[in-house]
Structure 1
Amino acid sequence: MSAAEASRKPSLIEGPIAKTLFMFSLPMLFGNILQSLNGTINSIWVGKFLGEAALTAASNGNIINGYGTVAAAAYTAANNLSSYVQMPAMALGAAVSSFAAQNIGAGRWDRVRMTTWIGIVYNFVLTGGAVVLIYGFNRQALLMFLPSTGGALELGMRINMITLWSFVIFGVTNVITGVVRSTGSVMIPLLITIISLWGIRIPLAYVFVNEYGLDAVWWSFPVGFAISAVAVIFYYAFGKWKQASMGEGIQAMKPAEDKG
């Protein structure tokens, strides 16, 4: 690569963070969308032309499937939409991790902190924007998968109303986790994910589903995401994740390399 070509490449350790992070996230976001389109198109085709029973057969709702084809079809359709809502958060999490790692290696902790905040703001804009868009066209979006009669459409709309907004919280968790993992600190974020999913969200759904019906399953999403976000924010603010810094490890190795 020539010097001129290198100078045209955006630097991750200098210059405007917001613009560079946004441009860095876009290819990941579009890649995620393209990977999901095939499954979404299949679900649309199955739901519209083969019916709710066929869409249920293609689902993996587990606890949902025990409540009949209407519930399973509604969940499958809503889950297809939520997969797109969480894509900005997934892309931002990967982008801030790479971005933060570069700046940690350069000793630019000021840019690491700023990257965290900018990533969170972008999450509110992008993930929140996707949520608002689907809320504005909730019925129309679900009609791509479900018939207008039979009850699945109304249930799918209720699922979206209860769960979709909480993916903004999931996005905050994902951004902060991406920054923390960039230092090499991976075990605590993994434990938080395991506990929030298998220790809180899934048990919550199973314990309360008989008393509150499927609403217990839908509400388990916001509750699980919120608890995970609080734990990750606490670890980011007070944990020792910076001591696992790969940048510090590299700096510690340099004197030995110079002597050799």
Structure 2
Amino acid sequence: MSGPGGKAGGGKARGRRGDLTSGPILPTLIAFSVSTLLSSLLQTFNQSISLIWIGRLLGESALAATTNGNTVMSLLFTVLTGFSMATMIRIGFHFGAGNERAARRTFGCGIGWALGVSMVLAAAGVVFTPRLLHLLGTPPAAHDQAVHYLRVLFLTLPLTGLSSTVAMASRGAGDSRSSLYGTVVTLVTSVVLNPLLILGAGPLPRFGLPGAALASGLANLAGICVMGVVIWRPGAPLRIPAYALRWFLPSRTELAYLLRNGMPISLHLLLAVGAQLVMIGLVNREGLNFTAAFGVSMQIWNYMQSPSFAISAGLTAMASQAIGAGDHARVGEITRTGMMVNTSVAAVLAMTILVLIRPILALFFGHGSPAIPIGVHMQSICIWGFVLSGLMSAMTAVLRAYGVQLANVAVNLVSVYFARLAFYFLTYPLLGADALWWSFLFGTAVSVVLIRIVFVRGGWTRLGDEARQPASITAG
């Protein structure tokens, strides 16, 4: 592999708590990723439980409404995720260089910025909810429920954004457990509140579908409180002292970095979610059962992607600390290990899901639902795209740590919006609805080829050295 490489440098972070710059690559990656994986799986499990309650208590139309609402929400959440990931990378640079004070300054800036942006997005979302659902072509039977559900989700967006930023920031400092603790509390709270708020109990009124969105927001609040207690414990690497509360107001230097790197990451993720929105719109044209099957399939794919997400987050955190320590040779080893692990895990999961797909779908819909055979066929084609994307995710994670953001955006734009949509429209007269599923697989294959071309260009060592310069300066 001719990607990142160079002479190993002396990392200032070596031997400290949260140090990811030393030790064997594979055990370090696995140990770091396990907590992140458990967090991701629990988050997805939480969403699945909510969908099961919605499907069993409120029916297919409510599931279709949830699918459209969650997709719109994902579009805005990716904006916050981009800044959260930039915060994680910046903290990794500082931590790798041994500058915990600067890491805390970045953490404060990330929190303040996330809250401000999420509040603006939430307000705009509440106003434009009907218009967004109209653009999606939401089925009439699901439209009214989707409006109420999505508006409640928008109101809870600041909590979701804050949770994401805190979790990402702690990973940049080599701590993947804090987010796990918060996720466990979030899951337990959601499991308890979902049926209570959907159906009503005692003094609680029957909220119906919006109750599921309210339960999600309250569960996130509980998780944030737990993560806050862990991160603010005495001696924690990201604890901001009382005299430095002004750090929550974004400084020009830190905010400039978050904008320069966070906006391209957000754009990259927005393109992916935007493609999902396009996909939802095309699926909606096939009817309610296709939409419901696609919504549940997305939940299954979330499980499929959870290990990849966890490993990629570990790769970015490890690579950013290694870059901060000036150890580019270690970054190359991290990349090769990540590609191997990501692809192997995805292949095993794909085969397991295909064996169990029918009973899994029956869990959501009940036996005999017309959406089940649609979902089975859909999975048999689409799921292999996630095996291919394991390779892409590993390379993208490392490029992201080096600040190579716009190349990732270009690859996503070409593969998803040109290759995938061109394949769909050219083959739809021949394949019908199957053109949707095959276009997904084709677009993923194109993205893997393109990101590989970007990666082997090399030259990322220079960018890494430029990126780590501010890490050696103590933030004021």
Q: Is TM > 0.5 for Structure 1 vs Structure 2?
A: yes
Query: Match of 1:15, SS?
Result: coil
Cα distance, 1:15 vs. partner? Answer: 1.2
In 2: Cα distance, 1:7 partner to 1:106 partner: 12
1:50 corresponds to 2:58: yes
Query: Match of 1:95, SS?
Result: helix
1:143 corresponds to 2:143: no
Within 5 Å, which residues of 2 pair with 1:215-234? 215-234=434-453
Given the alignment, which residue of 36, 44, 61 partners 2:44? 36
In 2: Cα distance, 1:253 partner to 1:47 partner: 49
* Residue identity matched to 2:46: N
Bigger relative contact order, structure 1 or 2 (CA pairs below 8 A, ≥6 apart): 2
* Residue identity matched to 2:64: T
Cα distance, 1:177 vs. partner? Answer: 0.6
Within 5 Å, which residues of 2 pair with 1:1-260? 7=15, 9=17, 11-60=19-68, 61-245=280-464, 247-250=465-468
Cα distance, 1:204 vs. partner? Answer: 3.1
* Residue identity matched to 2:282: I
In 1: Cα distance, 2:293 partner to 2:471 partner: 55
In 2: Cα distance, 1:242 partner to 1:209 partner: 44
* Residue identity matched to 2:344: V
* Residue identity matched to 2:300: L
* Residue identity matched to 1:56: A
Cα distance, 1:148 vs. partner? Answer: 2.4
Alpha-carbon distance change, 173 to 187 in structure 1, aligned in 2, over 3 angstroms: same
* Residue identity matched to 1:130: L
Contact 1:29 1:88 in 2 (8 A): yes
- Please give the TM-score of this superposition, normalised by the length of structure 1: 0.86
Cα distance, 1:8 vs. partner? Answer: 7.2
In 2: Cα distance, 1:7 partner to 1:242 partner: 24
Contact 2:323 2:468 in 1 (8 A): no
Deviations 1:28-70 (A, max 9, x none): 2222223333321122123234333332232232211111122
Alpha-carbon distance change, 10 to 68 in structure 1, aligned in 2, over 3 angstroms: same
Alpha-carbon distance change, 252 to 157 in structure 1, aligned in 2, over 3 angstroms: closer
In 2: Cα distance, 1:239 partner to 1:139 partner: 45
* Residue identity matched to 1:39: Q
Alpha-carbon distance change, 210 to 146 in structure 1, aligned in 2, over 3 angstroms: farther
In 1: Cα distance, 2:470 partner to 2:301 partner: 44
Cα distance, 1:207 vs. partner? Answer: 4.3
Contact 1:10 1:20 in 2 (8 A): no
Query: Match of 1:67, SS?
Result: coil
Contact 2:324 2:471 in 1 (8 A): no
Cα distance, 1:229 vs. partner? Answer: 0.8
| Structure 1 stretches lacking a partner, 5+ long | 1-5
In 1: Cα distance, 2:61 partner to 2:318 partner: 45
In 1: Cα distance, 2:428 partner to 2:444 partner: 18
Alpha-carbon distance change, 208 to 107 in structure 1, aligned in 2, over 3 angstroms: same
Cα distance, 1:185 vs. partner? Answer: 1.4
Alpha-carbon distance change, 147 to 210 in structure 1, aligned in 2, over 3 angstroms: farther
- Please give the TM-score of this superposition, normalised by the length of structure 2: 0.49
Contact 1:77 1:146 in 2 (8 A): no
Deviations 1:109-142 (A, max 9, x none): 3221111111112112322222222112111111
* Residue identity matched to 2:312: G
Deviations 1:14-33 (A, max 9, x none): 21110111111122222222
Deviations 1:136-159 (A, max 9, x none): 211111111123224311110111
Cα distance, 1:101 vs. partner? Answer: 1.9
Cα distance, 1:10 vs. partner? Answer: 6.0
Query: Match of 2:67, SS?
Result: coil
In 2: Cα distance, 1:142 partner to 1:14 partner: 44
